[in-house]
Amino acid sequence: MRLPRRVPWATIGELEQVCSWIYADENDYHAKLLAINRLSAWKAITTLPHALESTLSLLVVATHDGPQARLSSLSLRQSYATAIIRLVNGLVDPLQMGTYARSIASIAKQLGLPSWLVELRHAATHEELPSLSLLREAARQSLSWLLHNYFLPTINPQSQSSSLAPPLRPLKPILKKYKECMKIVSRDASLASQYKSELTGLMKDIERWLAEAGVAANVSFGEVGWDTSATHGSENLSEQDFKERWALDRLCDELLEKGALVPLSKKKRANPIDTFLPPSSSVAIWAPMLEFIQLQHTDFALVLATRVCSQLIMPEASSGDQIELESKLDASYLSCLARWAKWAVDTFAGSYQDLRKEVITQLLQELGRAMTLPKQNKSSALELAQVLCEGNAELESALALIAGPHKQVQSQGWDSSDMAVMQQRLDALQKLALSQRIVEESEDEEMASSPEARVLAPGWKRADNTWRPCPIGVFSSA
């Protein structure tokens, strides 16, 4: 569950007013002071999002850089450079989520930040300070970027563009190159040392792609580094897990395509008869990469297995889409996917304790929904469930209950005899209720007239006619 984000403004109108003070008139000195005072007041009571913190820093420097400014040129250059460095670093550093560090330029490119601002930040940090005119232009560009990437999307979320950053670079070429190298190594083990560095580089490239996907998750949910929960431990962890799951989902989508975990050739999908496992040739190719990803991301096995479970139960195609779906989701494809889920559960159960339990729960839920629909491909999912539940009596009974025959009642038309039968049944029920009420009344009269009968139920007695309802805790003898 994603926790709500704390913001410093009471209503969105306050943020809109601050935005108008900053951007309505670039030369309005008094409006800039109003914006600085409002942002400073917010900062005194709560932590500002990084966007507002950077805006405040840039505004303070801009107000000092006027005709009446008493600061020297060097002081202005240092103040501008500090504000821009803090802006870029504050955007990029929270998004260094991968195991292997990525360049600041690549992350900034995903955020849509002008590349020359990154170069200016590098020059101001490690080289001679840029000129004052260049720093002034950088401050104007930074405020413009903040307007279009923070203020406007926050004030009016409906106007936010569907993607502020360029799309993810394709993963298929990386997987294809990895598969080609592993095929060569699996056929000739003597070449392992020769391809070791290349395979290691490809695995690191996959990890970098996951980090890029984490940044894309930020952008997709409208959070380009503005979240203040980075300073709060538990909130940060849950948010981080949410984005990591999103990235792993995208990776699993690529792995479940034909030509990846499942070979293109149907002959190569042939499975060993005695074990419910993928083809040994496919395991030799993909196991090293899957184990590497699991080592970096402990939730990968669960995400992969649950994605497979969702993929196994697909509706049968209609007449118009029959050819397309049959070419994509044939029986051998689904069977091979099911065996990969079993392999993931057996291989990674040690690194994820409740992996088998969660996968079985997900699979039984999917099967429970699918059993009520006649046009549903369930054979591979049932086979996987039987293998995973084997040896557990409770799970086997639950599976038998779900997978049992479900009779469907077909609606029939009504005729006059049906109404007559229903009327007879209604009369019989009414007579039965009347006879039971008569018996109860007679028993009550006997209880009231027989003092001995009252003793049979110690602690209870029937109230006489003098009893009147009253509030709890109030006693009345009247």
Range with the largest mean pLDDT of 222-236, 272-286, 390-404: 272-286
| Residue 368 vs residues 303, 381, 406: alpha-carbon distances, Å | 20, 11, 11
pLDDT of residue 38: 92
Lowest mean per-residue pLDDT among 85-99, 118-132, 183-197, 443-457: 443-457
Query: What DSSP line would sit under 43-66, residue for residue?
Result: HHHSPPPHHHHHHHHHHHHHHHSS
Residue % of the chain over a pLDDT of 70: 74
Of 459 and 68, the one with more pLDDT: 68
> Average pLDDT, stretch 453-470?
59
* 319/53: higher pLDDT: 53
Torsion 465-471-475-478 (CA) sign: negative
85-144 per-position pLDDT tens digit: 998 888 888 777 666 667 788 777 777 788 888 888 888 888 888 888 899 899 998 998
Q: Which of 27-36, 151-160, 309-318, 414-423 has the lowest mean pLDDT?
A: 309-318
What is the rounded distance in angstroms from the CA atom of residue 300 to the CA atom of residue 249? Answer: 9
User: Which residues lie below 8 Å from residue 464, measured CB to CB, with a gap of 6+?
Assistant: none
**Gap between the Cα atoms of 318 and 323, Å rounded:** 9
Encoding tokens for residue 450? Answer: 């027989």
Say yes or no to pLDDT of 408 above 60.
Answer: no
Question: In the structure, what pLDDT confidence band is assigned to residue 45 with cuts at 50, 70 and 90?
Answer: confident
Give pTM, 2 decimals: 0.60
**Backbone angle region of 271, left / alpha / beta, with phi > 0 → left and psi within -120 to 50 → alpha:** beta
* Contacts of 361-365 spanning 24+ positions with Cβ under 8 A: 362/305, 362/306, 362/309, 362/310, 363/309, 363/312, 363/388, 364/398, 364/399, 364/402
